[in-house]
């Protein structure tokens, strides 16, 4: 499992995601960004995706 705290990209956000792969984690983060952070593009910007990859960690 991979885990990611949205706060690593959006300070103060308490959302936390877990998924079986980094791709699924990015997909969950994208949905979250749409409803929670006003993302209007279908995809997150490359720098945000890079930040998620940097912030995600392996969990049991």
Contact positions vs Zn ion (CB under 5 A): 6, 10, 13, 15, 36
- Shortest reach from residue 3's CB to Zn ion, in Å: 14
> With the C-alpha atoms ordered 30, 31, 32, 34, is the resulting torsion angle positive or negative?
positive
**Residue 41 or residue 60: which is nearer to Zn ion going by CB?**
41
Smallest distance from Zn ion to CB 6, Å? 3
> How far is 37 from 19, CA to CA, in rounded Å?
20
Shortest spacing between CB 9 and Zn ion, in angstroms: 7
């Amino acid at each position: 499992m991979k885990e990611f705290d949205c706060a690593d990209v959006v300070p103060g956000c308490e959302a936390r995601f877990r998924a079986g792969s980094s791709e699924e984690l990015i997909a969950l983060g994208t949905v979250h960004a749409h409803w929670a952070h006003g993302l209007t593009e279908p995809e997150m910007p490359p720098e945000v995706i890079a930040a998620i990859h940097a912030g995600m960690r392996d969990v049991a």
